[in-house]
Amino acid sequence: MSLNNQLGSLWQWLLNFFTKGHPRSLEAKKNIMVSLFIKGASIAIGLILVPLTIHYVNPSQYGIWVTLSSMVAWISFFDIGFTHGLRNRFAEAKANGNKELARTYISTTYYYIGIIFIVLWILLIIVTQFINWYKLLNVPASMEKELTVLVMLIFSYFCLQFIFRIINTILIADQKSAKASLIDMLGQLFSLLIIFILTKTTRGSLLYLALAIGIAPTLILILSNFFFFNTAYKEYKPSLSYVKKRYAKDIMSLGMRFFVLQIAAIIQFESILFLIAHYFKPEQVTPYSIAYKYFFTLQMIFTILLSPLWSGVTDAYNSGDMDWIKNAIKKYLIILAPFILLGAIMLAVSGVVYDIWVGKEVVYVKFSLSLLCYIYFSVTMFASIFVSVINGIGALRIQFFSSLVTPVLFLSLSIILIKQFHFGVESILLSSIVSNVFGYIIAPVQVYNIFYKKSEARIWYR
């Protein structure tokens, strides 16, 4: 076959891939392709931000910054499941052609999330004054005032972002994940530009860093809300007249289950950096964070491909299209294989990449940390396929009860490995892998019983 014929065949295959198939699948494919380019830019920006930020402050201050940002993320569970509940309810209402109901869900979510996080912000600003952050983070007392102001800044922009990030939930629920990715990427890009300017004009400062990383994404989110609700989503624009208390309960009936799952995830994943800083030193957060970000690029790309699955499953399940769901699971498992292989290659060259990326003289990352990060993300990507399907159909009871055990198992195992066996930072990653048993064992079993075995046992469907 000639080169022209080969190119012609490839072009025809690509054309068919993006123009033929189920409308639900076509929408997902288009969003995935655009998201890949956008997330590719986000990954590049994120990778540039790490060495730029470390050199702007220093490895110890960077560790403090990453730890505090992680700890502040704990307050996200105060949304009590509203955003996750909205994602399913909005997708269901739109699939049924009920625009009035969809607008009611959006308006009600904005209203209650706004109240929750405004009140929470006021309380956090007050409470912050009475916490000895320098003791909590194991840093010199001379940093007390700086840390207090830093925490207040992080709290402020986090609460604002959580309110206005609802637009991302709506876009993802509507299978427009590429647009949600674009919003995040623009926020990152402007933060990068501001930090670059700071490196040329100011001395390293945690406070300036907080402003640079916080202000730009917050403004982008606010502007995105105004843009989308005056254009493509004008008919869903939030309005006080559409706020209905009874629909808040409807969102929360599903959302409360997601709320418990959020708490479990936050306790497990967001406490990792605090445990490292508390039981070791803030400097130890930096090598962990670098290894984590390096392998996280794999999951970021996989998440782009996976992002349409949740809402697609919700739509397909409500339409009775079980074949679409089974085909989607099969395709995602096939897609996962090259990611696992690529991760192994990344592991093999990780030492060289770290040296080029941040400099060996700045931070040293042990191979054991890289190995455990690779295993952790491989397991997480596999689990995310089945968890997305379960979340999409709202069959959360088994996941709910598993989530009550997961954080207890994680914290207990981490402390035992640190105090009794002196495993070091690696013990926390190992505990994360072991405790995530629902995702890579129980969730696949549940999906098998629902879609393949068609079990009559009600527990799988609840």
Q: Which of 193, 184, 187, 179 minimizes the C-alpha distance to 215?
A: 187
User: Can you spell out the DSSP letters for 221-269?
Assistant: HHHHHHHHTTTTTGGG---GGG--HHHHHHHHHHHHHHHHHHHHHIIII
- 349 by DSSP, 3-state: which? coil
Say if 38 falls within a structural domain: yes
Specify if 306 maps to a domain.
yes
pLDDT, tens digit, 9 for 90 and up, residues 27-85: 666 777 777 788 788 888 888 888 888 888 877 788 777 777 665 555 544 544 677 78
pLDDT of residue 16: 56
**Block residue for tokens 């629909």:** 247
Looking at residues 255-284, what average pLDDT do you find? 70
- Ranked by mean pLDDT, which of 207-211, 344-348, 360-364 comes out on top? 344-348
In a domain, 17, yes or no: no
DSSP letter (8 states) at residue 422: -
Confidence of residue 219 (pLDDT cuts 50, 70, 90): very high
The overall average pLDDT reported for the chain is 82
Domain coverage including residue 330: 26-461
* Torsion 440-445-448-451 (CA) sign: negative
Nearest residue to 112 (alpha-carbon basis) of 223, 225, 247, 224: 247
Question: Does position 2 have pLDDT exceeding 50, yes or no?
Answer: no
What average pLDDT does the segment 189-218 reach?
88
How far lies 263's CA from each of 79, 99, 331, 358, 405, in Å? 10, 32, 31, 33, 12
Domain-located, residue 322? yes
- Is 5 contained in some domain? no
Mean pLDDT in residue range 336-341: 94
Q: For residues 124 and 134, what is the distance between their CA atoms, to the nearest angstrom?
A: 17
Contact between residue 346 and residue 298 where contact means Cβ atoms under 8 Å apart = yes
Determine, yes or no, domain membership for 197. yes
Decide: 15 and 7 in contact? Cβ < 8 Å.
no
Of 28-37, 242-251, 300-309, 377-386, the range with the highest mean pLDDT is 377-386
Q: What is the pLDDT of residue 56?
A: 86
The answer as to whether 2 is a domain residue is no
Structure tokens at 339: 């990611």
Residues of the chain above pLDDT 90, percent: 23
The whole-number average pLDDT for the span 203-220 is: 87
Decide if 12 is inside a domain. no
d(CA 227, CA 217): 15
Contact 30, 37 (CB under 8 A): no
How far apart CA 315 and CA 393 sit, in angstroms, is 9
Is the pLDDT reported for residue 421 higher than 70? yes
174: its two tokens: 């509507």
- The confidence score (pLDDT) of residue 10 equals 39
Radius of gyration of the chain (CA): 23
The more confident residue out of 235 and 141 is: 235
- Looking at the 3D structure of the chain, how many domains does it have? 1
Whether the full predicted model's pTM is greater than 0.85, yes or no, is no
How far is the CA of 143 from the CAs of 220, 265, 283, 285, 363, in angstroms? 31, 30, 15, 18, 23
Helix extents (H) in 366-442 = 367-393, 397-419, 426-435, 437
- Using 50, 70 and 90 to split pLDDT, how confident is the model at 235? very high
- Is the pLDDT at 8 greater than 60, yes or no? no
SS3 at position 104: helix
Question: Rounded mean pLDDT of 356-363?
Answer: 79
- Burial (CB count <10 Å: 0-12, 13-18, 19+), residue 331: middle
In the chain, the amino acid numbered 98 is N
Q: Is the pLDDT of residue 172 over 80?
A: yes
Which residues lie below 8 Å from residue 123, measured CB to CB, with a gap of 6+? Answer: none
The whole-angstrom separation of Cα 150 and Cα 140 is 15
Q: Which residue has the higher pLDDT, 271 or 426?
A: 426
